Structure 1
Amino acid sequence: MVYFDLSLEYVLFGCFCVSVPLYIFVLVNLALVSKCDAALGSSFFRIVLSTGIADVLTAIQTYVNIKFRFWNVAFDFYSIIHPAFKYDLIISYATTFVQSFGNLLLGFNRYTAMVMPTRHAVIWSSERVRIYLIAKWLIACVIVIPGIFLELSDLTFNRVPDDGNATVNGVTTATLQLLMVLQGFNKWYRAQAVALDAANYIHPYFLLSLSAALRNRCFPCISKEKRATIAPIEVQPISTVEQPSIINHYRWSSELHLNQRVQG
């Protein structure tokens, strides 16, 4: 029995093929101008760049690890790499956590910009932003480390056998199971399928629509501003009869001052 709509999945895959290259194009432009452009090199866009990398990786891994398997694409290939599938699945968990932490940082960044404008520059200084981004990726990697020591069946919906390791496995995979439950809705609900895909690659459309600086950088030929041309004004020379020269003016002032001193 098929629990997902293949026609909808194919439409979403078409959006994936268009949106992910666009997302990569936007991220590359952000990376190139982050140090030479004050607007696109701000703390907000640095977080966008880091989170965007996780978005692209998660979107690709969602299709490679899950959806292509549902469609029975390259069955022999997946059967060969099945033992190594656990590690790829763990990486997808890590990038999902990075997405969540990145969205949290973006929300807090906008909050401080509106509520605490005087302290915003201090909270989001270049050195602190670097620490935030490193911590975001590091925490995500630490969370999924226990999954490396588990069997692949413990990372899926299969019941953990009661063999003495069930308690340890249940504790270490608690957060991973929650992510699998969220991903599992993708098989039954169309709205959830659209939401999960859109969450991975909808950001470039919002960024391009809301940021004029990013549009000018990515598409200069489309968003090039028209410059107004001003007709040259003919300058008329000033006649020496109408206005005395500077030398005559100072000479007249000196003679007047000398006469006043003599009379005094």
Structure 2
Amino acid sequence: MKNLDSLLELALKAGKEASKILLEYKDKNTLWFKDDNSPVGLADIKSNEIISEILASSDIAICSEENILSYEERKNLEYFWLIDPLDGTKSYAKKDKEYCALIALIHKNTPVLSLISDVENDMFYYAHIHTKVYKNDKILNHSLDKYEEVKNIALYSKNHDNNEDFFIQNHLKGIKVSSALKFVYLLEAKAGIYPRFGGPKAWDIAAGDFLIKQNGGILYDFNQKALDYNSPDFKLPSFIAFAKTNFKLKGF
């Protein structure tokens, strides 16, 4: 096993530098569209550059949304970094505050370390498999009573399809949030459930998946199986996350 303490410090350094870049470029971002019709901007590229530059000192391969390692390159890797240098590009382009940078360390097909940078609020959520989840320099700690109050509050996506019937059938109240900051809402006990319909990409979810589980929650697909973060095309199935493992819906 790698020295996860030093790698977490490196990820935190990268996340902080990426946050500076994203704040710097917010008023001078140029946006265009990739071949898959997803938006990308100058800020994505600049954030990707600084994160990759810092993580390169680990001598671990780096796979980013903006510089994807082919399956042939990574299928036999024991470890690789999986990053999204700007999650929430549409919100960022609108000058909204709901965007973040995501860094995860994948061991075979499972995250073992991750960080979410909540840029606008200057908050960093991070952990590895042998630590608690930290919020900046303190352990994130909420009582179970606080989570009880939000167990029927679910997170809607602002920019992706939502299954309205699922929310109605399960008597869920909804909050609309952009980007992987939905995972922060679970971590901070502002919501209890995050169902995601349609195929997200691995770099959108890996960091949040790991932090939710490390904080006593759970995330799995609709067959109650863990997600594979080293699949050939990085596409993930629909899934559901619970802030705490004792929060369940019928059928889950």
Which TM-score tier does this pair reach, normalised by the shorter chain? under 0.3
Bigger fraction of residues in helix: 1
Please give the TM-score of this superposition, normalised by the length of structure 1: 0.24
Whose radius of gyration is greater, 1 or 2? Answer: 1
Bigger fraction of residues in strand: 2
